[in-house]
Amino acid sequence: MANNPISMHRIRQLLLFLDRGFSQRAIEKETGINRRTIAGYLKRFGESGFSFRELLLFDDSELEVYLNADKPPREQPDPRRSELEALFPYMLSELRKVGVTRLLLWQEYIRDYPGGFGYSRFCELLQEHILSRGATMHFEHEPGRVLQVDFAGDMMHYADTVSGELVACPVLVAVFPFSGYGYVEALPNASLPQVLRALNNCLDYFGGSPLSAKSDNMKQWVSRISRYEPKFTDMLQQWANHNNIALLASRPAKPKDKPSVENAVKITYQRIYAPLRNNTFTSLGQMNHAIRQKLEEHHDRNFQRRTFSRRELFTDKEKPVLQPLAGTSFVAKHYTRGKVQRNYHVVVGEDWHFYSVPARYIGKKVRIVYCTDTVEIYHGSRRIALHRRSYKKHGYTTDREHLPENHRHMRERLAWNPDYYLSKAETYGPATREYFQRVMDSKLIIDQSYQACRGLMRLATGYPERIEGACKRALKGQRFNYTAIKNILDNNMDLLEKKEAPKQYTIPLHDNIRGAGEYK
């Protein structure tokens, strides 16, 4: 009989042919079983003491016992292997350390166990153990039960139109394991308030809340890491209570505790990052709009080897069992205090950004209330300023109405440019505009002409009805500056242009006066 045993259903086929009286040659032709193998099984059938028909009545396990009754017992496991397997947990922890190799571990092993395995067999057994630890388990997910959340490892970018710098944005990914229906959003930063704002948007997108939300031990999620009793951040707990959601955290360093979102991140790279890799975005909103379009396309695409999409599965099976949304979205507000500086600004330390208040509150102590979108500043019970929150570090957000009068005028002057001066001059007439243009063209650097333009604007304000005539007269000269216009106005030279030349005297018509026609 061959060394490799044949399957049980072929043994039953062999018994059936033998019971019907087929020869070994005929059985070999019909079944493809070698005659030597047939002879070996025929001997075993005879030694069992049962007829072919009786053997056919046994089930597979009983039949195997009778056929293998005289086989020698299995070999005892090699004790060296048991010794080595007991060392595997220690070896795996050592392999994570810098500089530790399998060769070093084998050398230490063979030193303590001189009769142990050679290096090649040692590596084979260690690799088998590593692969067995990496086996995956299939889970059956209930619809709407848990939402898995994580950050994508790579960031997306947009180009700031003001500074021209490339701004990196972390990307939050959330997914329902049952349907694979998910949500993706790029954030200005990875702070907890931004995460909560994105989670609010996520629930609005789904149209309902899950029973629980699970993430890894990132600092925005967990304030104290524990395998059994993790402590969640206070603000996240407030968000969860507001939406009636139970918080969960995966075990430390166990990404397979949330495999669905790990796979969702991979899909995000393939179906959002990759198609948008050559796009240039100029704002966070523009980038999120493009992300949403690609996300919708992903949801509408059928699963591989399936006839339905994630959207269809979510709409039919998962969305109906979600909890209803809370009446209002959760708003995380922070409270702090500050003192108005001499530049009539207060600082929000979390972002290190400065916000203006009316200048009369310089030196006063104020209360600052801010959330992800707005910053409110109170003096006593009175709100004295309201700003849209900015996350630009060391930046300033200033309301023009908060500036003192002299600062307001200075800021206006600093904002003036050639187009501003020309548009103002044009309101007085074409000659005034042309004269302003000549003044600017007369300087090598246009900034040198702004002082003269400011003086001309002051003259135009003082003589609004005469400035056009003064400029018209000055355009006849060769020098174009503030002094030329001032001299014309001071000496009333522009008024001479308006005086009409006296008419030549003519004799009035009269019946007693003969004209030239009388002498013809």
Burial pattern 83-101, b for ≥16 Cβ within 10 A else e, equals: ebeebbeebeeeeeeeeee
Q: What is the pLDDT of residues 226-262, one digit of tens each?
A: 877 888 888 888 899 889 999 998 888 777 778 889 8
Pairwise CA distance, residues 321 & 92, whole Å = 44
Q: Residue 431 has what pLDDT?
A: 92
Judged by DSSP in three states, 229 sits in coil
Q: What is the pLDDT of residues 5-52, one digit of tens each?
A: 677 778 888 888 888 888 888 888 888 888 888 888 888 888 777 888
Q: Residue 303 has what pLDDT?
A: 87
Average pLDDT of 209-218?
90
Average pLDDT of 216-223?
87
Judged by DSSP in three states, 12 sits in helix
Average pLDDT of 450-462?
87
- Could you write out the DSSP letters of every residue in 231-298? EE-HHHHHHHHHHT-EEEEPPTT-GGGSHHHHHHHHHHIIIIITTTTT---SSHHHHHHHHHHHHHHH
Q: Residue 71 has what pLDDT?
A: 54
User: What is the maximum alpha-carbon separation in the chain?
Assistant: 173
Q: What is the pLDDT of residues 269-285, one digit of tens each?
A: 999 999 998 899 999 99
| pLDDT > 90 in the chain, percent | 36
Instruction: Considering only residues 226 and 519, tell me which one the structure prediction assigns the higher pLDDT.
Output: 226
- The helix (H) or strand (E) run that includes residue 347 is strand 345-348
Computed from CA positions of residues 488, 493, 495, 497, in that sequence, does the dihedral angle turn out positive or negative?
negative
Average pLDDT of 288-316?
91
Q: Residue 265 has what pLDDT?
A: 93
CB–CB of 428/462 below 8 Å? no
Rg (C-alpha) for the chain, rounded Å, is 45
CB–CB of 395/348 below 8 Å? no
> Phi/psi of residue 315, each to 5°?
-65, -40
Q: Give residue 208's Cα distance to chain centre.
A: 22
Instruction: Considering only residues 172 and 22, tell me which one the structure prediction assigns the higher pLDDT.
Output: 172
pTM equals 0.50
Q: Residue 14 has what pLDDT?
A: 85
Q: Residue 306 has what pLDDT?
A: 83
Q: Residue 2 has what pLDDT?
A: 45
Burial pattern 358-394, b for ≥16 Cβ within 10 A else e, equals: beebeeeebbbebebeebbbebeeeebbebebbbeee
Average pLDDT of 432-442?
90
Other Cβ atoms within 10 Å of 63 Cβ, number: 19
Instruction: Considering only residues 289 and 449, tell me which one the structure prediction assigns the higher pLDDT.
Output: 289
Q: Residue 256 has what pLDDT?
A: 76
Give the residue among 432, 436, 434, 395 at the shortest CA–CA distance from 416: 436
Judged by DSSP in three states, 58 sits in coil
- Output the average pLDDT for the chain: 85
- CA dihedral (29, 35, 37, 43) in degrees, to 10, reads 120
Q: Residue 408 has what pLDDT?
A: 66
Pairing state between β 156-159 and 353-356:
unpaired
Q: Residue 8 has what pLDDT?
A: 79
CB–CB of 220/191 below 8 Å? yes
Instruction: Considering only residues 288 and 140, tell me which one the structure prediction assigns the higher pLDDT.
Output: 288
Pairwise CA distance, residues 342 & 357, whole Å = 11
Q: Residue 450 has what pLDDT?
A: 77
pLDDT band with cut points at 50, 70 and 90 for residue 411 = low
Range with the lowest mean pLDDT among 61-75, 89-103, 122-136, 254-268? 61-75
Instruction: Considering only residues 464 and 52, tell me which one the structure prediction assigns the higher pLDDT.
Output: 464
| pLDDT > 70 in the chain, percent | 89
DSSP 8-state class, residue 393? T
CA distances from 23 to 2, 30, 67 (A): 19, 11, 21
Pairwise CA distance, residues 69 & 278, whole Å = 71
Q: Residue 234 has what pLDDT?
A: 84
Q: Residue 354 has what pLDDT?
A: 93
